[in-house]
Chains A and B, each alone.
Chain A
Amino acid sequence: MTEMAPNEMAPTDLALRVRGVSKAFGAPVLSGLDLDVAAGSLVALLGPSGCGKTTLLRLVAGFERSDAGTIEVGGQLVSGPGRHVVPERRRVGIVPQEGALFPHLSVHDNVAFGLARGERRGTRPDEVLELVGLAGLGRRMPHELSGGQQQRVALARALAPKPSLVLLDEPFSALDAGLRATVRAEVRASLRAAGASAVLVTHDQQEALSVADVVAVVRDGRVVQAADPWSVYAQPADLGVATFVGETIVLPGHAADGAVTSPLGALTTESTAYGDVAVVVRPEQLEFEPADLPSVAAVVSHREFYGHDALLRLDLGGGVSATARTPGHPLPEIGATVKVGVRGPVVVFPVA
Chain B
Amino acid sequence: MTQVLDAPARVGTPHPGRRRALLQRVGLGPSGSSRPPLVLLVPAVVTAGVALLPLVYLVVRAFEEGLGVVGDVLLRERTARLLLRSLALASSVTLACLVIGVGLAWLTTRSDLPGRRTWAVVAALPLAVPTYVAAFAWISFLPELAGPVGAFVVLTACSYPYVLLPVAATLRRLDPAGEEVARSLGLSPWQAFRRATLPQLRPAMAAGGLLVALYALSDFGAVSIMRFDAFTRVIYTSYRSSFDRTPAAVLGLLLVAVTVVLVWFEGRSRGRASYSRVGSGGARAQTTVRLGLLRLPAVLLTTGLAGLSLGVPVAALVYWSAVGDRGQVDLPALLSAAGTSVGFAFLGALVTTLLAVPVGVLAARRSGRLPQLLERAAWVGHALPGIVVAFSLVFLAVRYAYPLYQRTPVLVLAYVVLFLPLAVGAVRASAAQSPPALEEVARAAGARPLEVLRRVTLPLAAPGIGAGAVLVFLTCMKELPATLLLQPLGSATLATQMWTATGVAAYSAAAPYAAALVLLSALPTYLLGVRTGALDRTPEVSP
- Residue ranges of A at the interface with B (Cβ–Cβ < 8 Å): 22, 24-26, 61-65, 67-68, 81-82, 86-94, 96-104, 113-114, 140-144, 147, 150, 154, 157-158, 161, 167, 174
Contact = CB atoms under 8 A, between A and B. Distances in A.
Q: How large is the interface on B (under 10, 10 to 19, 20 to 34, 35 or more residues)?
A: 35 or more
A150 B281 CA distance: 10
Given A24-B3, A24-B8, A92-B444, 13 more contacts: A22-B8, A61-B444, A67-B10, A82-B13, A86-B448, A90-B444, A96-B441, A98-B280, A100-B435, A102-B441, A102-B460, A157-B445, A158-B445
Contacts of B34: 62-65, 86-87
B446 A96 contact: no
A174 B459 CA distance: 26
Contacts of A113: 442, 445, 447, 455
Given A99-B280, A143-B281, A174-B280, A24 B7 contact: yes
Contacts of A157: 441, 445
Contacts of B13: 82
B328 to A, nearest CB: 51
Given A63-B34, A65-B34, A144-B542, A81 B443 contact: no
Contacts of A154: 441
Nearest to A20: B8
Contacts of A143: 281-282, 539, 541
B7 A114 contact: no
Interface of B: 3-4, 6-13, 30, 32-34, 278-282, 434-435, 437-438, 440-448, 455-456, 459-460, 539, 541-542
A61 B440 contact: yes
Contact of B443 (A25, A63, A147): A63
B523 to A, nearest CB: 26
Contacts of A65: 30, 34
Contacts of A93: 444-445
B281 to A, nearest CB: 6
Nearest to B462: A104
B455 A86 contact: no
Given A62-B34, A88-B448, A102 B440 contact: no
Contact of B460 (A22, A62, A103): A103
Contact of A147 (B280, B444, B460): B280
Q: Which 9 A-B pairs have the closest CB atoms?
A: A114-B445, A87-B443, A100-B437, A98-B280, A67-B7, A65-B30, A94-B444, A26-B3, A96-B437
Contacts of A142: 280
Contacts of B443: 61-63, 86-88
Nearest to B11: A81
Nearest to B281: A143
* Interface SS majority for chain B: loop
B12 A68 contact: no
B280 A100 contact: yes
A63 B441 CA distance: 10
Contacts of A161: 445-446
A52 to B, nearest CB: 14
Nearest to B459: A104
B441 A94 contact: yes
Nearest to B35: A65
A88 B6 contact: no
A101 B11 CA distance: 39
Contacts of A97: 437
Contacts of B541: 143-144
A109 to B, nearest CB: 10
A103 B535 CA distance: 12
Given A22-B7, A67-B10, A68-B10, A100 B438 contact: yes
Given A25-B32, A68-B10, A141 B539 contact: yes
Given A81-B11, A102-B438, A87 B456 contact: no
Given A25-B3, A96-B437, A81 B459 contact: no
A88 B281 contact: no
Contact of A88 (B7, B282, B438, B444): B444
A145 B153 CA distance: 51
Contacts of A114: 444-447
Nearest to A22: B8
A101 B444 CA distance: 13
Given A87-B440, A94-B444, A143-B541, A67 B8 contact: yes
Contacts of B30: 64-65
Nearest to B29: A65
9 contacts: A24-B8, A67-B8, A87-B440, A88-B443, A98-B437, A100-B435, A102-B456, A113-B447, A147-B280
A112 to B, nearest CB: 10
B156 to A, nearest CB: 38
A228 B106 CA distance: 57
A120 to B, nearest CB: 11
B8 A88 contact: no
Nearest to A90: B444
A81 B9 CA distance: 11
B19 to A, nearest CB: 12
A103 B460 CA distance: 8
Nearest to A167: B444
Nearest to A141: B539
A294 B437 CA distance: 57
A144 B278 CA distance: 18
A96 B460 contact: no
A64 B8 CA distance: 16
A150 B3 contact: no
Contacts of A167: 444
A100 B277 CA distance: 12
Q: Name which of A26, A65, A67 has the most chain B CB atoms within 10 A of its CB.
A: A67
Nearest to A143: B539
Nearest to A101: B280
A88 B446 contact: yes
A144 B282 CA distance: 10
A89 B33 CA distance: 17
Contacts of A81: 10-12
Contacts of A82: 12-13
